[in-house]
Structure 1
Amino acid sequence: MEKIKLDQNKAPIYEALQRLREMRVVPFDVPGHKRGRGNPELAAFLGEQCVSIDVNSMKPLDNLCHPVSVIREAELLVADAFGAAHAFLMVGGTTSSVQSMVLSSCKRGDKIIMPRNVHRSVINALVLCGAVPAYVNPEVDRRLGISLGMQREQVAKAIAENPDAVAVLVNNPTYYGICSDLKAIVNMAHEAGMLCLVDEAHGTHFYFGENMPISAMAAGADMASVSMHKSGGSLTQSSLLLIGEHINPGHVRQIINLTQTTSGSYLLMSSLDISRRNLALRGKEVFAKVVEMADYAREEINAVGGYYAFGRELINGNSIFDFDPTKLSIHTRNIGLAGIEVYDILRDEYDIQIEFGDIGNILAYLSMGDRPQELERLVSALAEIRRRYQKDPSGLLSQEYIDPEVVASPQDAFYAEKKSIPLPESVGCVCSEFVMCYPPGIPILAPGERITQEILNFIEYAKVKGCSMTGPEDPDILRINVLV
């Protein structure tokens, strides 16, 4: 029987909040600011329109923990728009979505196959549930110094070597826009009786744009975490968890409720509702313009010389199976500057804030809110930075990924007895915490991994260049916790 398409003009949470606002209900419930009256500075800063709908769950507004009315209807509309069997509105960011996805699929001792260049939220989920990673170490582009996608042969090898694994997790796309052969990986996982989970934080637009890489749901994946706040236009910290038809939504809801707040923000939920409607009705034209802007910017930046704004020409049919055309990723090392140095100069001297810089690249995140005149300003600034700051690139580190030696599971290492020692004395020890540059939040070291001199060299280099280092207990990152 053909599935009935839902009316994507609807926005049930937004509409319910509008009705509530018109009712002028007297609030003897939380939050205590009482529609902003109790905190006038907050109301002045955020606006009365905003604080007046910062409300608690009530019957007319449904409840995120157990939706039966307007939130349930909003979730059905999301599932319909994204081609999923079911969808969950997430108010703890895509970190919460990723963790719920992994916790729904794995329990203590289960193996999960994944690339090592995952976001910290994935390894955090392993700390929580006790599952054990079987890493597929990604191929690295030596010229750009970036991790690529998961090669089909490597995934097949990992499945053959770990037939008892319960799931395969894929990053798709990576921060830089690199996509794996998702459909092939889904098929391999399913043939082996495993689930396929996709961290699709940076791929909201795959569901709505034309000529985009395949989306997780279209590829037949079992679960996907989608950052609506990144390219989808919703408020920061709002996200989605999508599931396929063979996953039990009731079980997933129970897992979500283990960690997600019982006080779901209606600001975040209404932003998801409104943004889903916008994408369903106008997404195709919106993302066509984004791709057009990105293609124009790549051409202009490459004409400057020295920089390399890379794109679809990298596609090789395997480790770079496809490329996200909206991503404006730019290699900077040939002008003698680390990406993080260009990132800092753009912000401090040109008032341009880009998404991130690492040791060899920068990423300017383009989406529906960008305009051509701002891209012109970015291109001009990059040209001027090259003229003013270019130097000999010799001596710059090139690679942002180092194959880890895994000694213990993330959970065992995180909760084990540990001691704090100076960073230079830690070579050969087993790390019990995370060390990463943020963004992008991919761990350089994760709990259970052996510390090597190469890793320490990378950490010191990243610190010197100005990367924002996060993870360790020691805020100055002069010491590190290791297993006793």
Structure 2
Amino acid sequence: MLDTPHTPPTTDPATPAVPATPPAGAPAVPARQFETPYVDAVRALATEPWQRLHVPAHHGAPENAPGIAELVGAGAMSIDFPVLFSGVDQRSWRLTAPGRATPLMRAQELAAEAWGASRTWFITNGASGGNHVATTVARALGTETVLQRSVHSSVIDGATHVGLEPHFVHGSVDTGLGASHGVTAAQVARALSEHPGSASVYLVSPSYFGAVADIAAIARVAHDHGVPLIVDEAWGSHFGMHPALPVNAVRLGADLVISSTHKGAGSLTQSAMLQLGHGPHAAALASLVERVVRSFQSTSTSALLLASIDEARKHLVTRPELVGRAIASAERIRAAIRADRRYRDATPDVLARADAVAHDPLKVAIDTRGAGITGGEAHFLLMRDHRITCELSTPAALLSLIGATAEVDVARFLAALQALPEAAVEPERPIAMPAPGARAMGLGEAFFSAVELVPAADAAGRVSADALAAYPPGVPNVLPGEVLSVEAIAFLRATAASPAGYVRGAADPALDAFRVVA
């Protein structure tokens, strides 16, 4: 999908294309997308007979850190060069001619072309770091924003730290499956009309369960109100790379997109990208994003993480047949689940939501409510007894993620599901996700206030000082400044007690105590 109308002609359109067995009807892959300029540069550096007298302290030699060499391999150590190494990350008289792009710059240009962005930045502190960049950008535009309530906790952290005042738009919630989804263009239009001081719109698409919002319509609404659209597309980094996948947000009119490249595209954990869209709103953000990225990006950026983005981009773009196989394996799982007596394919539940215009086919949601086992118990037993790890479980569902170029062993997974025990009586389900609590204070006011730790029995009615998020997916169930409800306390404690449960932001891992405003 490299030839969509939003793709900028950044390079010579006459560049010959190299066939990569693309799916029927798919455009040919430009030859330049087979290049990995940053990877090639660091590999070339590793072949030189350096005497390293600089960081990192292992100097690229396995004998200097044998435990690390056993952990990541001698090859990884050899290319673990520091940031700003001459000619790779910065210009050099020897390796990069004056006025020419460095290998890192060229790698980012290729990524921008691949995803249809006007500009791309590689970041090495994950999509969470990208959300901190984006919330800072949003705050620079104005003090108010229209914000989807079910954003990742890193968005709330960022908004809190920079003093961004959110006007929340509440996405749909499937209380049965325990899944939060997206918002509609009509909701965004209403919020912008009610809060004319808002200088941006910030939302999530796709949802953790793979629901894709109508980004094109929402972008038109935002632009009609004179504000840019920021999209956390952490779970859609593979979108737009195959005809059977949804179109990615930057091609649909989003102005700034956070992409967690490691989640769907296959780079190393903690690597991610920021993508700039097209049009006047995106263009106006370019300089600001550049400066904010610089202020957040580590000055010791990992060459391994940067190289993994370059390599993952090439693999994803030039091997569309692998993406097709991954999608086919996901569909084989869904087909078997649809024919099963115990389990149920939950994809129709996701698509039935008014906010969902498409679904990520590489997310397989399995309803366990009729299977005589909770999703959490299934998750735990698959790990313990079958060494199969899934992405997420709720009391009612099991969610699997298939990498965009990863064909899974369908037979093994289905056999393990059938081997799970079945209770004679339908297991009791913990309570559904709680509704957001009443807001008593602003995010920053609560977060920076004096606090105290109180027992769970005394926490109801108190104002939370923390963002508390059942994790995964990491969507805050309680925000700083919201009143803790009996339902929220019970839900979070049940999550913490479940086999795969964890609550991000909790002062006490068991949630026997809560941190509240004093």
Q: Shorter-normalised TM-score: what interval?
A: over 0.9
Deviations 1:349-372 (A, max 9, x none): 111111121222221111145434
Give the aligned partner of residue 26 of structure 2: none
Give the aligned partner of residue 46 of structure 2: 21
Give the aligned partner of residue 353 of structure 1: 389
Deviations 1:195-237 (A, max 9, x none): 1111101112212011322211111100111111111111111
Matches of residues 311-390 of structure 1 in structure 2 within 5 Å? Answer: 311=347, 314-316=350-352, 318-368=354-404, 370-372=406-408, 374-385=409-420, 388-390=421-423
Structure 2 gap ranges (5+): 1-7, 14-29, 92-99
Q: Distance in 2 between matches of 1:152 and 1:334?
A: 35
Distance 1:317 1:453, change over 3 A: closer
Matches of residues 48-197 of structure 1 in structure 2 within 5 Å? Answer: 48-57=74-83, 58-63=85-90, 69-107=102-140, 110-197=143-230
Letter in 2 for 1:71: L
Aligned partners of 2:373 and 2:427 also within 8 Å: no
Matches of residues 437-456 of structure 1 in structure 2 within 5 Å? Answer: 437-456=470-489
How far off its partner does 1:44 sit?
A: 2.7
How far off its partner does 1:459 sit?
A: 1.6
Give the aligned partner of residue 208 of structure 1: 241
Aligned partners of 1:359 and 1:400 also within 8 Å: no
Distance 1:38 1:409, change over 3 A: same
More displaced stretch, 437-446 vs 232-241: 437-446
Deviations 1:76-96 (A, max 9, x none): 111111110100001001111
Deviations 1:115-151 (A, max 9, x none): 2111111101112211011111122234433223212
Aligned partners of 1:107 and 1:130 also within 8 Å: no
Aligned partners of 1:147 and 1:401 also within 8 Å: no
Q: Distance in 2 between matches of 1:68 and 1:56?
A: 19
Alignment TM-score, normalising by the size of structure 1: 0.93
Q: Distance in 1 between matches of 2:457 and 2:213?
A: 37
Distance 1:439 1:316, change over 3 A: closer
Q: Distance in 1 between matches of 2:87 and 2:192?
A: 48
How far off its partner does 1:310 sit?
A: 2.2
How far off its partner does 1:323 sit?
A: 1.0
Give the aligned partner of residue 250 of structure 2: 217
Distance 1:76 1:401, change over 3 A: farther
1:434 aligns with 2:459: no
Deviations 1:22-79 (A, max 9, x none): 2121101110011133112211332111101111121122159xx9511111111111
Letter in 1 for 2:486: Q
Q: Distance in 1 between matches of 2:161 and 2:326?
A: 38
Aligned-residue CA RMSD (Å): 2.1
1:264 aligns with 2:301: yes
Letter in 2 for 1:257: R
How far off its partner does 1:285 sit?
A: 2.0
**SS of corresponding position for 1:334:** coil
Deviations 1:366-393 (A, max 9, x none): 1145434x221111111121xx233533
Structure 1 gap ranges (5+): none
Which residue, out of 39, 42, 47, partners 2:68? 42
Q: Distance in 2 between matches of 1:217 and 1:469?
A: 32
Q: Distance in 2 between matches of 1:403 and 1:222?
A: 29
Letter in 1 for 2:334: R
Alignment TM-score, normalising by the size of structure 2: 0.87
Deviations 1:394-421 (A, max 9, x none): 6413633523322222222111111111
Q: Distance in 2 between matches of 1:212 and 1:368?
A: 10
Give the aligned partner of residue 305 of structure 1: 341
Over the matched positions of the two proteins, sequence identity in percent amounts to 27
**SS of corresponding position for 1:263:** coil
Letter in 2 for 1:62: D
**SS of corresponding position for 1:59:** coil
Aligned partners of 2:496 and 2:510 also within 8 Å: no
Q: Distance in 2 between matches of 1:56 and 1:262?
A: 9
Which residue, out of 321, 330, 337, partners 1:285? 321
